[in-house]
A and B are shown apart, each in its own frame.
Chain A
Amino acid sequence: MPNMNLSHFEAAFLFALFASIVLGVVTKRSDRERIRYGARTFLYFMVALVGLGWLMYLGHG
């Protein structure tokens, strides 16, 4: 099994991507709603990722 080295951002990005896909697929009732929900969830993940990243950066001074 090959080793994989990812940065924090890359790992969190992939996590957000796959989690959003599954959440979109299992949550809503029509394909249109699923795509919208998956995209919105992914956007929220990204906003939280960048926001918390900046918060920790600024918190460290």
Chain B
Amino acid sequence: MPEQPKIETTPAPPLNAWAPAVALAWLVPGGGHFLLKRPGRGALISVSVVIMFLFGLMMRGAMFQPQTGDILTTVIYVGGFVGDLASGLLYLLSVWLGYSQPDMAGHVHDYGTKFLVAAGILNVLAMVDAYEIATGKKD
């Protein structure tokens, strides 16, 4: 019987090496980079995500609520909710302070909704970057 090839696996990085940076990156856009002593990149991420989110609010974009049904409804509403939630404190504060905008017709509202979700998705990219820096996969 032929010998199975050995698959080399690298051990997962310890949780305490990356979890604080990733958690802070979620809560405060750019915060993970500040914690990891990358203030320039952190500032650029912070400014971009915060301005996008604020523009989304000023354009009266709608926040997604998770809904399930057919596959398209599930992908759009659950995905949109996760995208909104990924903005961290920005999302939590706006919901706690009572921001609630119905989904209305019109290109400005539509762009607003997209800006809110895109801000969260860009913050996810920043969280991944913070993870890679914290675990030494990236400078």
Instruction: Give the distance in Å from the alpha carbon of A1 to the alpha carbon of B54 in the complex.
Output: 9
Contact B49 A22 (CB under 8 A): yes
B90: min CB distance to chain A, Å: 13
Q: Assess whether A60 is interfacial by the CB under 8 Å rule.
A: no
Chain B contact residues: helix, strand, loop or mixed: helix
Chain B 41-65, CB-CB to A under 8 Å as 1, else 0, gives 1001100110110010111100000
CB < 8 Å neighbour of B128 from A4, A11, A26: A26
Q: How far is the CB of A45 from chain B (nearest CB, A)?
A: 12
Q: B-facing mask of A1-38, CB < 8 A → 1, else 0?
A: 11111101001101100110111011001000000000
Q: Classify chain B's interface size.
A: 20 to 34
A29 touches B58 (CB 8 A): no
Picked from B60, B111, B138, the residue with its CB within 8 Å of the CB of A11 is B111
**Residues in chain B within 8 A of chain A (CB atoms):** 41, 44-45, 48-49, 51-52, 55, 57-60, 99, 107-108, 111, 114-115, 118, 122, 125-126, 128-129, 138-139
Query: Hey, which bits of chain A sit against chain B, CB under 8 A?
Result: 1-6, 8, 11-12, 14-15, 18-19, 21-23, 25-26, 29
